[in-house]
Amino acid sequence: MFWTAFSGIVTTLGLIFFVGDISGSNAEATVVHVYSQEAYTVRFTTRDGEACVTAQKWTPSTGPVKVADTLRVHYSRISPCDNIEPADDWFARYGAILVPPAFLAVGCVNLRRLRRRV
């Protein structure tokens, strides 16, 4: 029962953010401050003209990250300055909508196994 309710709630929230993410866009971001090779601040402008400066932890890059480097980011329509990820990170974009159905499947299998034991 828990897994079914949990997956329903997470699926609904994931769907809301998924729609916001799809209606977002890509932008060219410039690194403005480097804390480490995994954490740095980027600046970009959305399609609507909103200027964003975001400090975030990123997956490690293959080469050293320096101030003034550029990278492609994808931002969500819902809070575009906070909901960004690398444009090529497909799991960050689609994982929230794909994982809950897996939990639902596990919950259904466990319910079926419990009924067989009784």
- What residue segments make up the domains of the chain, in order of their start? 2-117
Q: pTM for the complete prediction? A: 0.67
- Name the amino acid, one letter, at 111: L
CA proximity to 96, closest of 20, 5, 10: 10
Task: Report the pLDDT value the prediction gives residue 1, as an integer from 0 to 100.
Answer: 73
What are the structure tokens assigned to 78, written together?
A: 């819902």
Determine contact, residues 31/41, Cβ cutoff 8 Å: yes
Cα-to-chain-centroid distance, residue 49? 22
- The Cα 71–Cα 87 span in angstroms is 9
Torsions phi, psi for 90 (to 5 deg):
-70, -35
Element (H, E) at 91: helix 90-117
Domain topology for 2-117: OB fold (Dihydrolipoamide Acetyltransferase, E2P) (2.40.50)
SS3 24: coil
- pLDDT, one tens digit per residue, over 70-117 is 999 999 888 899 888 888 877 766 766 677 777 778 888 888 888 887
Whether the per-residue pLDDT at 35 is higher than 80: the answer is yes
